[in-house]
Structure 1
Amino acid sequence: LAASTTPRKARLSRRDAGVLDEAFDRCGAVCKEYAKTFYLATQLMTPERRRAIWAIYVWCRRTDELVDGPNAAHTSALALDRWESRLDGVFAGRPYDMLDAALADAVAAFPAVDERPFRDMVQGMRMDLAKSRYATFDELYLYCYRVAGTVGLMTVPVMGVSPGSQAGVETVYAGALALGVANQLTNILRDVGEE
């Protein structure tokens, strides 16, 4: 994976630890409410990894809500431009709000987290604004990569790879990407029956 292009500031000051703790608590509450089994799995992680995963989950959820949430009809390309500018702030250590602050702290704590998958996810949301049908599997795959495969790429650096693993890091990333794409394809197939 390519290295991040935005220079990162050091982790947020611990003098704001109370606010940061509250931000992570909110992230955990959102994860617990909307992704119950995923939340339970995070309980097996170290506290620092768990909090970082919650922050990533919440950012992904907020990003998805821009095009799939209750106000999605009002989301424009300009709104996604603004969201992407906020992402710049996260990776530069200048968060916009407390949930962004949790993610900023997480990406500072885990410098291997690359901003490219986050940007790619925003591009997936742009695809949602432009079209809902894909003529080829290659187009569909690109969409699935952007809206779901990216999640695996965001989280592997936090979850890590066991030092004793027989699989190389590239294999782990490929597996995480494939799992995300497969989950999105499954979601699409499930939606076909409902719609």
Structure 2
Amino acid sequence: MSPVKRQSIWSIYAWCRRTDELVDGPASALTTPETLDLWEQQLESIFAGCPLENYDVALVDTLQRFPMDIQPFRDMIAGQRMDLYRSRYETFEDLYLYCYRVAGTVGLMSTAIMGVDSTIYTAPWQQNKQPYLPIEEAIALGIANQLTNILRGCGRRC
């Protein structure tokens, strides 16, 4: 990856890590729904181009270089809200939703930066086609990684 793309992926990683630390980090016992409400307000500030903390500056820069939708970020915060109240899920559909929110979203966030190889669209007969965007695949990769992480954790605790 180019230095700009590396830095941009790092800014997403840093935001995701800080978000996860709210419910899984050393101070997680102090996290409330209101904490996550404030975090979501801070996210809105980032997307408005008004960083509140030093780490936010990097994400603002990323958004200027690689425009993306705020919804995957909001969805990740919704996953952290799920972490406040649950650690087990009755159905696979509930677990899948959780995995989408806390990991599938990372795939969506990264897609704008990683890009798509469009060299196959350079042939004259392909030039009018829109490049295929692997959105579902990005989500599936994140979910698979989260399920693997959960299974690895079960092996240690069970």
TM-score, shorter chain, exceeding 0.5: yes
1:154-180 Cα shifts (integer Å, max 9, x gaps): 0000110011258711xx111111000
Please name the residue that 2:149 is paired with.
187
Question: Is it true that 1:154 corresponds to 2:109 in the alignment?
Answer: yes
Please name the residue that 1:131 is paired with.
86
Question: Is it true that 1:177 corresponds to 2:139 in the alignment?
Answer: yes
Question: Is it true that 1:143 corresponds to 2:79 in the alignment?
Answer: no
* Structure 1 position 108, deviation (Å): 1.2
Give every structure 1 segment of 4 or more consecutive aligned residues whose post-TM-superposition deviation is greater than 3 Å: none
Please name the residue that 1:105 is paired with.
61
1:17-64 Cα shifts (integer Å, max 9, x gaps): xxxxxxxxxxxxxxxxxxxxxxxxxxxx11111111110000000000
Which whole-Å CA distance do the structure 1 matches of 2:119 and 2:99 have between them? Answer: 31
Question: Is it true that 1:168 corresponds to 2:124 in the alignment?
Answer: no
Please name the residue that 2:14 is paired with.
58
Which whole-Å CA distance do the structure 2 matches of 1:189 and 1:75 have between them? Answer: 25
Gaps of 5+ in 1: 1-44
Give secondary structure in 2 for the equivalent of 1:65. Answer: helix
Task: Give aligned pairs, total.
Answer: 148
Which whole-Å CA distance do the structure 1 matches of 2:5 and 2:69 have between them? Answer: 16
Give secondary structure in 1 for the equivalent of 2:49. Answer: coil
Describe how 1:3-152 pairs up with structure 2 within 5 A. 45-111=1-67, 113-152=68-107
1:47-100 Cα shifts (integer Å, max 9, x gaps): 111111110000000000000000111110000000000000000000011100
Letter in 1 for 2:61: D
Give secondary structure in 2 for the equivalent of 1:186. Answer: helix
Please name the residue that 2:127 is paired with.
none
Letter in 1 for 2:4: E
Letter in 2 for 1:121: M
Letter in 1 for 2:19: T
Gaps of 5+ in 2: 122-130
Which whole-Å CA distance do the structure 1 matches of 2:53 and 2:97 have between them? Answer: 30
Letter in 2 for 1:174: E
RMSD (Å), alpha carbons: 1.2
Letter in 1 for 2:73: F
Letter in 1 for 2:5: R
Q: Under a length normalisation based on structure 2, what TM-score does the superposition of the two structures give?
A: 0.91
Give secondary structure in 1 for the equivalent of 2:26. Answer: coil
